[in-house]
Amino acid sequence: MLNSSTQDLHLTCTQFLAQNPQKRLQILKDLGIARYADFLTQMSLTEANVACVMHFFRDTSRVKFPNLRGADLSNLILDGVNFIRCDLSGANLMGSSLLEADLLFANFTGANLRNADLRGATLNETIWSGAVVEDCNFGKGMGLTEQQRRNLKLLGARFN
C-alpha cells in the first residue's frame, strides 16, 4: 500500500501524463525542469512512465541524470536528447529516433532498442548487457569500443 504522500505524487504524475504536450511543457517550466521536455512531453500514460515521472517530480533538484528505468519511450523522436548518465535499464526504446543524442555513460541493460536509430549519437562508456538491438542503426557507433561493436553486431545491430 502506498503512503498518502506517495499516492498524491502518483496522482500528480498520472495527471501530468494525461495532459497535452503544451500543458506538460508549462508544468515543467513551472517546476524548473523544462530541459527534460524533449521526452517528458512525449511519454505515453503508462504505469511504467508514471513511475519514471515520479523520480523527476519527487525532488526536482536531483534530476541531473535521468532515471528512466523501465520507461516506455517507444517510437518517440528523441533527436539530440541529453541522456548522459541516464539509467535506461529495461526501457522500451523500440522504433525511437535518438539521432545525435548524448548517451555518454548511459545504461541500456535489458533495454529494447529494436529498430531504433542512434546514428550520430555519442555512445562512450555505455552499458549494453542484455539489450535487444536487432535492426538498431548505430551509424558509425561513435564512442563504442571494438568489442562492444562486435557484440552488438552479433545481436543484430547495424553499423555504417
Q: How many domains does the chain have?
A: 2
Contacts of 76 (CB under 8 A, 6+ apart): 39, 42, 43, 96, 97
Q: How do residues 54-82 score in pLDDT, each as one tens digit?
A: 999 998 887 888 899 999 999 999 999 99
Q: How do residues 126-147 score in pLDDT, each as one tens digit?
A: 999 999 999 999 999 999 999 9
Between vectors from CA 79 to CA 152 and to CA 19, what angle results, nearest 5°?
A: 120
Query: Does 73 lie in the same domain as 148?
Result: yes
Query: Does 71 lie in the same domain as 44?
Result: no
Task: With beta carbons less than 8 A apart as the criterion, state whether 144 and 126 touch.
Answer: yes
Query: Does 57 lie in the same domain as 70?
Result: no
Q: How far is CA 25 from CA 95, 99, 103, 160, in A?
A: 24, 22, 23, 36
Per-residue confidence (pLDDT) for residue 2, from 0 to 100: 46
Give this prediction's pTM: 0.91
User: Is pLDDT above 50 for 1?
Assistant: no
